[in-house]
């Protein structure tokens, strides 16, 4: 590699401006740490393509950041649109500088620190940093099924709005919260909805508790058709071939042809682990989880830290990390970089820290 005088130098680079990345930036700024914050899209990007008026699983106090409460008219759960406005207000309130639309395309290890290459609209830039925090999230791209017809124009991995499905025969593939919510909303908007799920029954831990009884009621009444123990094998412009599975998830050899004008493949999302690979982080198990010290969030690539849902790896089969239990990551990293627990964290993160500290002392 060739270093030159045009490379920008800083102590810390944060990659990713989701909630935890923004929360960490507040902590580092308050501590006087020299840092650069890079985001490939706009802040909170993955929340921006949620369906309209979708609410969080978590209550407001669990997703607030930097100790700033979320205020709303209803005092109820926050919608995606409200949360994006909240994130913008945090950036404004703390005057955070975030280089949005500047994706990091390469990270290289130096003798002391890292060299990051970015590709903003104006041309490539390079940053030298002693330490790097990857807060890049776990929803970079949809989990593709790799079946014929998946790229047809009437097929989507993203559910944005109900209106396109009015009076359409809509097949939704999936059985977690996004699929359940999409099925109910599209049915109420006038779609003829069929739901295909690879398991025999829904897991009440994966669907909002106020959504699941409603979904079961509509299925039991025949308003929403349900094909459990099925997976799509092929999509055509007029129908989808569903393969039936046994209770152990193995194909039975029997197929079902489901007519469909539109198809929503709500089968989850996955992280892009490229930067972890480039930096030499060990990725473990089927989920390719980065190896890190949970006390500091430092990976086994010295000087490189992971924060937020990216710490769960490429794909969370069973969700273990959310915004609400990742606040503590910002605190642990800030403490590792500054030597003290940051003041600018909310009560949820502070309680998580206190519980983790008690557990550490007990052991």
**Tens digits of per-residue pLDDT, 119-152?**
999 999 999 999 999 999 988 889 899 999 999 9
Is residue 2, in this structure, part of any structural domain at all? Answer: no
Is residue 119, in this structure, part of any structural domain at all? Answer: yes
Is residue 3, in this structure, part of any structural domain at all? Answer: no
Instruction: Give residue 317's pLDDT.
Output: 74
pTM score, whole prediction: 0.90
Is residue 313, in this structure, part of any structural domain at all? Answer: yes
Is residue 106, in this structure, part of any structural domain at all? Answer: yes
Chain segment 210-252, per-residue pLDDT in tens: 899 999 999 999 999 999 999 999 999 999 999 999 999 899 9
For residues 313 and 227, membership in a common domain is answered with: no
Domain range for 88 is 8-141+269-362
For residues 77 and 90, membership in a common domain is answered with: yes
Chain segment 42-92, per-residue pLDDT in tens: 999 999 988 888 888 888 888 999 989 998 777 788 999 999 999 999 999
Question: Among residues 237, 265, 293, which one ends one of the domains?
Answer: 265
Is residue 118, in this structure, part of any structural domain at all? Answer: yes
For residues 185 and 169, membership in a common domain is answered with: yes
Is residue 1, in this structure, part of any structural domain at all? Answer: no
Structure tokens at 339: 């030597």
Strand blocks (E) in the chain:
8-15, 35-38, 104-110, 113-118, 125-134, 141-142, 155-156, 169-173, 192-197, 225-228, 230-235, 239-245, 251-259, 262-265, 269-270, 283-284, 289-290, 292-293, 298-299, 304-306
CATH number at residue 170: 3.50.50.60
For residues 229 and 261, membership in a common domain is answered with: yes
For residues 40 and 90, membership in a common domain is answered with: yes
For residues 228 and 136, membership in a common domain is answered with: no
Instruction: Give residue 280's pLDDT.
Output: 96
For residues 151 and 250, membership in a common domain is answered with: yes
The residue assigned the tokens 């590709």 is 119
Question: Among residues 265, 289, 304, which one ends one of the domains?
Answer: 265
Report strand pairing: 113-118 vs 125-134: antiparallel
For residues 129 and 18, membership in a common domain is answered with: yes
For residues 255 and 276, membership in a common domain is answered with: no
Residues of the chain above pLDDT 90, percent: 77
The residue assigned the tokens 């969700």 is 319
Question: Among residues 265, 290, 321, which one ends one of the domains?
Answer: 265
For residues 205 and 277, membership in a common domain is answered with: no
Chain segment 143-189, per-residue pLDDT in tens: 899 999 999 999 999 999 999 999 999 999 999 999 999 999 999 99
Q: Contact at 8 Å (CB) between 233 and 254?
A: no
Buried b (16+ CB within 10 A) or exposed e, 83-104: bbebbeebbeeeebebbbebeb
For residues 15 and 136, membership in a common domain is answered with: yes
Is residue 134, in this structure, part of any structural domain at all? Answer: yes
For residues 33 and 107, membership in a common domain is answered with: yes
Q: Contact at 8 Å (CB) between 292 and 194?
A: no
- Number of domain units in the chain: 2
Region at 337 (left for phi over 0; alpha for psi -120 to 50; beta for the rest): alpha
CB atoms within 10 A of CB 250: 8
Q: Contact at 8 Å (CB) between 58 and 324?
A: yes
């Amino acid at each position: 590699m060739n270093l030159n005088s045009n490379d920008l130098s800083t102590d810390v680079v944060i990659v990713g401006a989701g909630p935890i990345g923004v929360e960490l930036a507040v902590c580092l700024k308050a501590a006087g740490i020299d840092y650069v914050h890079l985001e490939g899209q706009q802040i909170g990007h993955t929340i921006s393509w949620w369906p309209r008026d979708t609410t969080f699983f978590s209550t407001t106090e669990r997703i607030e950041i930097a100790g700033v409460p979320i205020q709303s008219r209803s005092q109820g759960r926050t919608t995606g649109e409200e949360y994006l406005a909240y994130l913008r207000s945090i950036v404004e309130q703390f005057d955070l500088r975030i280089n949005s639309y500047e994706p990091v395309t390469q990270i290289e290890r130096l003798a002391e620190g890292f060299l990051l290459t970015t590709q903003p609209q104006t041309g490539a830039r390079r940053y030298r940093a002693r330490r790097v925090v990857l807060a890049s999230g776990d929803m970079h791209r949809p989990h593709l099924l790799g079946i014929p017809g998946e790229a047809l124009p009437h097929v989507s991995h993203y559910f944005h709005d109900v209106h396109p499905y009015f009076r359409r025969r809509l097949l939704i593939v999936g059985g977690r919260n996004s699929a359940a919510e999409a099925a109910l909303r599209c049915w109420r908007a006038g779609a003829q909805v069929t739901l295909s799920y690879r398991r025999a029954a829904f897991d009440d831990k994966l669907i909002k508790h106020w959504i699941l009884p409603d979904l079961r009621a509509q299925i039991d009444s025949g308003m929403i058709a349900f094909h459990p123990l099925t997976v799509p094998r092929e999509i055509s412009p007029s129908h989808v071939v569903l393969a039936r599975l046994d209770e152990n998830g193995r194909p039975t050899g029997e197929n079902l042809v489901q007519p469909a004008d539109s198809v929503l493949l709500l089968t989850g999302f996955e992280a892009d682990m490229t930067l972890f690979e480039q930096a030499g982080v060990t990725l473990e198990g089927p989920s390719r989880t980065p190896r890190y010290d949970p006390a500091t969030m430092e990976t086994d690539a010295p000087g490189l830290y992971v924060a937020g849902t990216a710490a769960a790896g490429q794909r969370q089969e069973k969700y273990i990390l959310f915004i609400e239990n990742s606040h503590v990551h910002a605190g642990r990293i800030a403490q590792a970089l500054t030597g003290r627990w940051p003041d600018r964290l909310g009560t949820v993160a502070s309680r998580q820290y206190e519980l983790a500290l008690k557990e550490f002392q007990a052991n």
